[in-house]
Chain A
Amino acid sequence: MFDIAPTFRPVTTETPVARWVLTGLAVAGIAVLVAAPLIAVFAEALAKGIGAAVASLGNRDALSAIKLTLLIAAISVPLNAAFGIAAAWFITKFDFRGKAFLITLIDLPFSVSPVVAGLCIVLMFGANSLAGGWLVAQGYPIVFALPGIVIATMFVTFPFVARELIPVMIEQGRAEEEAALTLGASGWRVFWTVTLPNIRWALLYGVLLCNARAMGEFGAVAVVSGKIRGQTATMPITIEMLYNEYLSVAAFSMAAVLTLLALVTLLLKTALEVRHADALAANHRH
């Protein structure tokens, strides 16, 4: 299991017994805490056979939930990617006062409960708020409708892309962009031909994580969506509704779809870490 033991143990490692115990603990812990729930999702989904599982995904409400979730990701992820690029550019290419504070503000959504995030959006855009009331009067309701879900999703996924790009762009410095500028390139040209190629893997990494969270967000969406079946019920919300109606196979089948998405995300993420380690933020290089 370990390297062929030399006659003498290297000074900077533990005894073989200690290594076995620690490795065993790590493997057992992950097996119980992570692998078991993963298996449970598929076991429950396939409890009545694969036919029942697939059929449960075919009805109108399920399809509408899948479509809605894809639509939300398709809107919120590109918007957050655009924000992440702009914020990383602003923060790494310019020197200004309050930079650390700005970074803290961008990271803020990570330390706010999703439920509180949803609450904030309800209070900001709900029908009895100033802005929300006006928008409803104009025929554009935000809360209990698509825009509210998109904003809630953007709130909880807000820092993902920016925090991947900022360390990478700090490490790469400004020299290449400055060189391109002295050669007469325009601002956009510098961005497309110099900056973007340098940050593309980190950008993809951030987008990947952002997308996984966007499609799976539950707490914030639960608060702002109103949970209207066939209209504002996303996949995670539908899972909750099905589960509470004791439709176990249907709930776990939809959960299995999201689990597959999570597994694909992890696979791509690991591939990026292996293949393009040098283009990612330092703490992803292992």
Chain B
Amino acid sequence: MRIEIDEISKQFGVTAALHPVSLAIPSGALVALLGPSGSGKTTLLRILGGLEFPTSGRVLFDGQDATGLTVQDRRAGFVFQSYALFRHMTVFDNIAYGLAARPRASRPPKAEITRRVTKLLELIQLPDIGSRFPSQLSGGQRQRVALARALAIEPRMLLLDEPFGALDAKVRKELRQGLRDIHDETGLTTVFVTHDQEEAMELADLVVVMSMGRIEQIGKPQDIRARPASAFVQSFISA
């Protein structure tokens, strides 16, 4: 799905988290929102997911105005920084949650839910952990379960907030490849937020560098490396 961000701004009280920003994300792209904390990247991601609402501006999905669409109707697969797994539910129930929450008319039958959860567990390469609780999983496993849970609702896009933030260096590298594979397999438009320029450059097709609520530069990793648009970008990517 194609995503367009049209002059979006966001005020929290008197402080501006986002000055009007515009951005077009082609269908099927893997995009990184890169910037230091306070740059507005997470706010932008949350606006895309319908968790915050912009003070002004529009969000378009495939050319359709989606600004007023509720979070439930957006069908954005969202992976939280803390993963936000439901700790009183098994991994299976976590992944099945979005399907079970549908109104009766559109809810798949039980056997179909089971089939889809099993398939997702295979996709994240953890076929045997369905009956465990989140507290019994490692950090990397939790991240993959959160990803599977987001994919279960057959989302129109995948939004990830610092998906590797809470992991150690080795697991980080493995899961990067895992995300790339899942993106390539599903073909979903994917946006992830990171403060790690190496991660953004290595993983994304398109990198959006942000600072102080503004977009500093949009470009392919190699272009940003070769021709940083501002002193900020220059210093941030060489850090």
A interface residues with partner B (beta carbon < 8 Å): 6-8, 11
Top 7 A-B pairs, shortest CB-CB distance = A8-B53, A11-B71, A11-B51, A7-B53, A6-B53, A11-B50, A8-B68
Residues of B56-71 contacting chain A, CB below 8 A: 68, 71
CB closest residue in chain A, given B49: A11
| Nearest CB of chain A from residue B46's CB, rounded to whole Å | 9
B contacts with A, residue count (CB < 8 A): 5
Q: List residues of chain B with CB within 8 A of the CB of A8.
A: 53, 68
Among B50, B51, B53, B68, which residue has the most Cβ atoms of chain A within 10 A? B53
**Chain A minimum-CB-distance residue to B71:** A11
Closest Cβ of chain A to B29, distance in Å, is: 26
- Chain A residues near B53: list those with CB within 8 A: 6-8
One digit per residue, 1 when the CB lies within 8 angstroms of any chain A CB and 0 when it does not, for chain B 84-128 equals: 000000000000000000000000000000000000000000000
Provide the main secondary structure of the chain B interface: loop
Closest to A12 in B: B51
CA of A7 to CA of B50, assembled, Å: 13
- Count how many pairs of residues, one from A and one from B, have CB atoms less than 8 Å apart in the complex: 7
- Give the secondary structure class of A's interface: loop
Interchain CA distance A7-B51 in the complex, whole Å: 13
Query: Could you list some 7 contacts between A and B, CB below 8 A?
Result: A6-B53, A7-B53, A8-B53, A8-B68, A11-B50, A11-B51, A11-B71
The CA-CA distance from A8 to B53 in the complex, in Å, is: 7
Residues of B within 8 A of A6 (CB): 53
Residues on A with beta carbons closer than 8 Å to the beta carbon of B50: 11
B175 CB to closest chain A CB (Å) equals 27
In the complex, which residue of chain A has the Cβ closest to the Cβ of B72?
A11
Complex CA gap A8/B47 in Å reads 12
CA distance A11 to B72 in the complex (A): 9
Instruction: Output the least CB separation between B158 and chain A (Å).
Output: 18
Which residue of the partner chain B has the closest CB to A8? Answer: B53
Kindly report which residue of chain A lies nearest to residue B50, judged by CB atoms: A11
Taken together as a complex, chains A and B put the C-alpha atoms of A271 and B50 apart, in Å, by 40
Instruction: Enumerate chain A residues within 8 angstroms of B71, measured Cβ to Cβ.
Output: 11
- Bound together, the chains give a CA A6 to CA B71 distance in angstroms of 16
Given the complex of chains A and B, what is the CA–CA distance between A160 and B178 in angstroms? 54
Q: How far is the CA of A11 from the CA of B51 in the complex (A)?
A: 6
Chain A's nearest CB lies how many Å from the CB of B216?
28
Chain B contacts for A11, CB-based, 8 A: 50-51, 71
